[in-house]
A and B are shown apart, each in its own frame.
Chain A
Amino acid sequence: MGTAELVALMLADGRLPTGGHTQSAGLEPAVRAGLGADGKQLHEVQTYARDRLRTVTRVDAAVAVVARHVILTGRPPEPPPSRVDWSAPGSPSREPWSPNHNPNSRLDATAEQAKPGGLGSGLGSGLEVVERAWAARVSSQVVREAVRRQGRLLLRLAGRVWPGVGEYLPPDGEIARPIVLGVVAAVTGLSAEQLARVVAYDDAQTVVSASLKLLPVDPAEAATWLAALHDDIEKLVADVAPLTDVDKIPANAAPLIDIHAQNHVTERMRLFHA
């Protein structure tokens, strides 16, 4: 096994065969909704990547860091005390989303977890708690599905390249990508900082490189945007790397990104999966 530094480089490399070419980190639907103004406001691509670093990507990185911690300490985290019984029938706040309304409701989190190959299907390592904490913070079911699909793609590769990963995750499980990255980091010796940096860099790079396919962008300019995001990436790293507690995972959200994602799945013309 190589050094942690090299593992980090591999994970950050878009050429690693994990389906990265199918992802735009939500940029495609955002562009369709007007981001970049047909090429007249190209700097919005950078702003979009920064907004993600401050919201959704921050959550992903924190989840990865905590998942890594759970594996390394071997101590399953305490599930957060349930302050409300979310699934209580008739619970008023729950009403509009109640699975009882529609037995096939795709918003039913319980059904999601029961999926074959998903984490709900019996893992003792405590990662379910972290995965559930992640799912609770990602309100779009479409985004959850896309991130879990990406997790499965990575897991498939990671299980072969770093067989230790298989001790913690079921083969071919649809498991949120940050969880899979956290396990890879634990198994290969990546530090929490390196892991958070990989998550952040990968997300920003996904946005920036997708912009080359979606907008009239000069590739060298795109690289300049990425370089200009380094401070934001390091800020994210400093914030999330010390986290060890599931309850401390931030819950930043970007509702517009969720709305775009929901629109994207029904779109007929699309280059990217998400």
Chain B
Amino acid sequence: MPETRSFRLGVAGPVGTGKSSLIATICRELADELRLGVITNDIYTDEDARLLRSAGVLDPDRIRAVETGACPHTAIRDDVTPNLIAVEDLERDFAPLDVVLVESGGDNLTATFSPALVDAQIFVLDVAGGGDVARKGGPGIARADLLVVNKTDLAPYVEVDVDRMVKDAEAARDGKPVLALSRKDPASVAKLKEWVRHMTAQVSTGDHTPVDPGPMAPHSHVGEDGSVITHVHTH
């Protein structure tokens, strides 16, 4: 591994759930202690890169956009080469970086990062998408390194029970962490910071083994005896 290799952290999740905002929060909170870079995968505009640049949380040169030809899913999964090159160039140009955050273009629930691109990934849902999304599951929900249930401040307005949503998510995740987050709730932001710090340390010491959430959702069918069998295909 070259010395300039950073911890590459993917941020995926459906459109508008708050991926860019979460990255901005991480930058704002951690730019003093970690050397950061950002790659955005905009679907149609350079809006995300712009938003992050104008947020003033990071040197604008450290934020780069990669076009995805309307294939945000492909760009983080089937053909990661353009992203990989962007990450490596950023690592080279600003060596050494501690963390490079890669924002996915915001696809559907099945889009997850290939382990060829990132070391760990955060999957972002929001309460406004509906309280039952976490229960519906999907590869990112079930197996991303961290699942964020975002915009909890909006829960009362969209009639979502956050605790319930978090419990559903935890049930789908086999003990992996779930974080109820709102940028208006400093305690939740502190937890996010702590997770990023912890992961950065783990990856840099080689204690973290990347897990691939995979493109296939765990799914259920009814067994011969009428019981429900939930599993993930490994082939």
Interface residues of A (CB under 8 A from B): 15, 17-24, 149, 152-153, 156-157, 172, 210, 213, 268-273
Q: With a CB–CB cut-off of 8 A, which chain B residues contact A23? A: 69
* Cβ contacts B73-116/A at 8 Å (1 or 0 each): 01100111110110010000000000000000000000000000
Query: Given contacts A153-B85, A271-B44, is CB(A17)–CB(B78) below 8 Å?
Result: yes
A69 to chain B, nearest CB (A): 28
Partner of A157, one of B45, B78, B81: B81
Closest to B46 in A: A268
The answer for the CA separation of A20 and B74 in the assembled complex, in Å, is 10
Query: Given contacts A21-B74, A271-B44, is CB(A153)–CB(B67) below 8 Å?
Result: no
Partner of A273, one of B69, B80, B88: B69
B68 on the A face (CB < 8 A): yes
Partner of A17, one of B66, B67, B68, B81: B81
B70 on the A face (CB < 8 A): yes
Partner of B85, one of A156, A213, A268: A156
The answer for the CA separation of A188 and B78 in the assembled complex, in Å, is 24
Query: Given contacts A22-B68, A24-B69, is CB(A268)–CB(B79) below 8 Å?
Result: no
The answer for the CA separation of A21 and B79 in the assembled complex, in Å, is 8
A126 to chain B, nearest CB (A): 27
Q: With a CB–CB cut-off of 8 A, which chain A residues contact B85? A: 149, 152-153, 156, 172
In contact, A270 and B67 (Cβ under 8 angstroms): yes
Complex A-B: 30 CB contacts under 8 Å = A15-B79, A17-B79, A18-B81, A19-B79, A20-B79, A21-B74, A21-B75, A22-B67, A22-B82, A24-B69, A149-B85, A152-B85, A153-B82, A156-B81, A157-B81, A172-B85, A172-B88, A213-B69, A268-B46, A269-B44, A269-B45, A270-B44, A271-B44, A271-B67, A271-B68, A271-B70, A272-B67, A272-B69, A273-B69, A273-B82
Closest to B42 in A: A270
Q: With a CB–CB cut-off of 8 A, which chain A residues contact B78? A: 15, 17
The answer for the CA separation of A15 and B77 in the assembled complex, in Å, is 12
Query: Given contacts A153-B85, A156-B81, A156-B85, is CB(A21)–CB(B69) below 8 Å?
Result: yes
Q: With a CB–CB cut-off of 8 A, which chain A residues contact B81? A: 17-19, 153, 156-157
The answer for the CA separation of A153 and B82 in the assembled complex, in Å, is 7
Q: With a CB–CB cut-off of 8 A, which chain B residues contact A210? A: 69
Q: With a CB–CB cut-off of 8 A, which chain A residues contact B46? A: 268
The answer for the CA separation of A19 and B86 in the assembled complex, in Å, is 12
Number of chain B residues whose Cβ lies closer than 8 Å to a Cβ of chain A: 20
Q: Which of the listed residues A15, A17, A156 has the most CB atoms from chain B within 10 Å of its own CB?
A: A17
B71 on the A face (CB < 8 A): yes
In contact, B45 and A268 (Cβ under 8 angstroms): yes
Q: With a CB–CB cut-off of 8 A, which chain A residues contact B43? A: 271
In contact, B70 and A273 (Cβ under 8 angstroms): no
Closest to B71 in A: A21
Q: With a CB–CB cut-off of 8 A, which chain A residues contact B70? A: 213, 271
A65 to chain B, nearest CB (A): 25
Q: With a CB–CB cut-off of 8 A, which chain A residues contact B68? A: 21-22, 271
Closest to A157 in B: B81
* Cβ contacts B35-76/A at 8 Å (1 or 0 each): 000000001111000000000000000000011111100110
Q: Which of the listed residues A19, A152, A172 has the most CB atoms from chain B within 10 Å of its own CB?
A: A19
Q: With a CB–CB cut-off of 8 A, which chain B residues contact A268? A: 45-46
The answer for the CA separation of A19 and B82 in the assembled complex, in Å, is 6
Q: With a CB–CB cut-off of 8 A, which chain B residues contact A272? A: 67, 69
The answer for the CA separation of A152 and B68 in the assembled complex, in Å, is 17
The answer for the CA separation of A149 and B67 in the assembled complex, in Å, is 13
Q: With a CB–CB cut-off of 8 A, which chain A residues contact B71? A: 21
Give 9 new A-B contacts, CB below 8 A, not counting A149-B85, A269-B45.
A15-B78, A15-B79, A17-B78, A17-B81, A22-B68, A172-B85, A213-B69, A271-B69, A272-B67
